[in-house]
Amino acid sequence: MNAIISASELAGAVAGENPPVVLDVRWQLSLAKAAGEPPFDGRAEYTAGHIPGAVYVDLDQELAAAPGERGRHPLPDVAEFGAAMRRAGVSAGTPVVVYDGGQGWAAARAWWMLRWTGHPDVRVLDGGLPSWQGQLSVESPTPAEGDFEPVPTPADLLDADEAAALARSGVLLDARAGERYRGEVEPIDRVGGHIPGAVSAPTTENVGPDGRFLPAEELRDRFKALGASDGTAVGVYCGSGVSGAHEVLALAVAGVPAALYVGSWSEWSSDPSRPVAVGPDPQ
């Protein structure tokens, strides 16, 4: 099953006999509070115009629990997540397409959560809303209740101890910017650096200037050079389990299965007893 869908493919699917449920997950990491600017409002963006029939999903409220010891975007209660997806019209037998404003991180978080909880057919709109050439709608649909019942797949999820072990026994990719990995800057979390043994692999390098994923072959070559290829146990983390989901999506496009450490650096760095590595070397 393909993990991404083009805008032209989505337009055809929406007009077809079995149209997908389309979810709008516009969100972005905002440092607006520190900068004195108003925070990004995904719902306002959605109300101003969205792909016809799309239902808005709030990442902070429906794809994450409240920040705490488990990180800035810990997993929500699985039952509550399932209820949110059913309200959005998601059913097990209906395809789902997710998009955001173009960065792809939020859409990938929704994609990962649906895949992790057992949905068999979910894809991300490659390039997000900017790639959509059709008209936009300001009408908010009221979908029929879906029947999706989430059943998590434990192998797709890592906790802190499992991530640390995977950094030694397999490949653990750090999807954050290189300067955060090296510990040169840390604008959000308690301390900079990375999990010892993790390999720097910024997720921004998986896409082109238009925000669309690089061809699958190029992604396979990139991940192979980082030590991540099919047959190797691969895990990913980031700052709080959002951009890391985008890297898991890129790995899926490349044909490489990977698990996600959702707590990521926001959880890891909150515990002073956990080791921190700095500089370009994984160790």
Tens digits of residue pLDDT in 27-77: 987 654 555 667 778 899 999 999 999 999 999 999 999 999 899 999 999
Q: What are the two backbone dihedrals, phi and then psi, of residue 12, each rounded to the nearest 5 degrees?
A: -65, -40
DSSP code of residue 103: S
Portion of the chain with pLDDT greater than 90, in percent: 89
Assigned architecture for domain 155-268: 3-Layer(aba) Sandwich (3.40)
196-205 residue pLDDT tens: 999 999 999 9
| pLDDT averaged over every residue in the chain | 94
Which tokens hold the place of 19?
A: 């149209």
Let me know if 250 is exposed, middle or buried by CB neighbors in 10 A (0-12, 13-18, 19+). Answer: buried
Whether 201 contacts 145, CB under 8 Å: no
CATH of span 4-152: 3.40.250.10
- Tell me the domain boundaries of the chain: 4-152, 155-268
pLDDT at 31: 54
Going from the C-alpha of 252 to that of each of 17, 48, 125, the distances in angstroms are: 27, 32, 14
Going from the C-alpha of 194 to that of each of 48, 201, 268, the distances in angstroms are: 39, 12, 9
Is the fold of 4-152 the same as that of 155-268?
Answer: yes
Q: How many whole angstroms separate alpha carbon 55 and alpha carbon 69?
A: 31
Q: Which residues are catalytic?
A: 238
pTM: 0.95
